Amino acid sequence: MSRIVTTSPIRTAYARRRTSAFTVLTLLAACCGVGCAKTPSHLDMKQVVRAESDYRNHRFREANDTLTTFLREFPNSPDSAEAYCLRALCNIELKNKARAEADAQACVKLAQSSTIKANAHATLATLLYESGKTDQALDHYSAALKVLPDKPPADLLRYRFGICLQRAGRWQDARREFASVFQRYPGSDLAPHARRMYDWTVDGYAIQAGAFRESGAASDLNQKLRRSGLPSRVDRIARSGEWLHTVYVGNYTTYREAANALPVVRRVVKDAFVMPQ
């Protein structure tokens, strides 16, 4: 039996650009800001400058400690915005995603100018996306992209916004974002992925349980899944220049619905995964 364990094209695109999250957040951090109460002096702000230098020299713990001291004294000042954004980045490097998310939330809550708020939204959207909270990331991507300059890293933000829209079952809105990526940023390494996403004639999700060159192997797996009470089927799909007999389970409107059903399928097929269908 020559089973081909294929990988979701979405997952592949995520993996290729996962390291870009650091770049996106770094670019955004310099543009953030927050609001209210006690105002730091010029001398106080030197702490933030020193922390930024530590951050760029990979002294994340030192930068985080300096920013924490600063924010303890000036938690609500508009001038604390950069400190919140920068501490979010430090906490990402220190593997404290929950604290990073809280700092980004503080930026969104306290930022006053449209540009500052947009950058805070973009930072938070990136954090939520990386944590798999795509439903929560939606509004933040939308708010950020209405204001941010139409240049990289906007290509990555728009691509990920499209993924979030897909997962929410908003397929036409997702196609619009994917079209924006390959039309506005033809030189981006995300352009071909966005084009492929745009061209998919799908409006839902399924769970892929296996892909085979031989129809008999696919039929055997299909029967095994059905004996377990799962609504499986076999479709003949063209991939990478060859036809594969692909076994799917279910039809779901949103990614969340499919993801909720995935553990049951994995009791039968351990490496099953969700993909658009």
Q: What is the CATH number of the domain that holds 241?
A: 3.30.70.1070
Residue (of 219, 263, 216, 212) closest to 239 by Cα position: 212
Q: Classify residue 100: in a domain, yes or no.
A: yes
Residues 14 and 69 in one domain: yes
Task: Record the tokens describing residue 4, joined without a space.
Answer: 């081909």
Residue 1 domain-assigned?
no
* Tokens of residue 8, six digits: 């979701």
Grouping H, G, I as helix, E, B as strand and the rest as coil, residue 113 is coil
Give residue 145's pLDDT: 98
- For residue 4, is it left (φ>0), alpha (ψ between -120 and 50) or beta? beta
Could you tell me if 179 and 226 lie in one domain? no
Q: Residue 110: inside a domain, yes or no?
A: yes
Helices and strands in the chain: count of H runs, count of E runs: 13, 5
- 87 and 206 inside one domain: no
| Count: domains in the chain | 2
Flag whether 233 is in a domain.
Answer: yes
Q: Does residue 195 lie in a domain region? A: yes
What is the per-residue pLDDT for 116?
A: 78
CATH number of the domain residue 46 falls in: 1.25.40.10
Instruction: Tell me, yes or no, whether 62 and 182 share the same domain.
Output: yes
Same domain, 35 and 87: yes
Considering the entire predicted model, what is its pTM? 0.75
Residue 246 belongs to domain spanning: 202-276
Which is more confident, 177 or 203? Answer: 177
Evaluate whether residue 118 is within a structural domain.
yes
The single-letter DSSP state of residue 188 is S
User: What residue type is 46 in one-letter code?
Assistant: K
Judgement on whether residues 190 and 63 belong to the same structural domain of the protein: yes
Instruction: Answer yes or no: is 270 within a domain.
Output: yes
195 and 215 part of one domain? no
Q: Confidence band (pLDDT; 50, 70, 90) for 138?
A: very high
How far apart, in whole angstroms, are the C-alpha atoms of residue 44 and residue 27?
A: 24
Digit-coded pLDDT (tens) for 100-135:
999 989 988 877 778 878 888 998 999 999 999 999
Q: What is the pLDDT of residues 93-104, one digit of tens each?
A: 999 999 999 998
State whether 214 and 261 are in the same domain: yes
